[in-house]
Homo-oligomer: A and B are copies of this chain.
Amino acid sequence: MKVLYWHVDYLKYAAIKKALKSVPDLENDEKEGKIDEGIVVLMSFEKDDNKEKLESFIRDLNNYAKQINAKKVMIYPYAHLSKNLLNPQKSMELLKTLKENMEKNDTFVEVKFSPFGWYKSFEVKVKGHPLAELSREF
């Protein structure tokens, strides 16, 4: 599991077209989303990923959020961080578990997920302080 953390002023995306046939259709209001003043997590699931790694990730993300005093987060599935991607079915299962676990979590007042398996355009402003961009491997 490879992730990039971005501390952003904002990110907004628009889902344009399915990149994977197996992913669900989206309602129009699910095709766009935005986060203001928070963390964007670009995330690639890899072949050996499992629920324990999700837990390590959540612990690390919580620590990061406290360090930079962020209260909002968007998980942004991103296939371009690894050459060793987990298959789409298992990735969607892990995303579901991640969503359930993060919604129980009280670090964040807002937790959003951008759609998995869609080509998306996005516009973002990433801050420039020393902790504004970090990469992690779990």
Contacts and interface: CB of A to CB of B under 8 A. Distances in A.
Count copies of this chain in the complex.
2
Contacts of A4: 80
B80 A130 contact: no
A36 interface: no
Main secondary structure of the interface of A (DSSP, over half): strand
A58 B83 CA distance: 21
Nearest to A4: B80
A68 interface: no
Interface string A78-93: 0011010000000000
Contacts of A122: 125-126, 128
Interface in A51-93: 80-81, 83
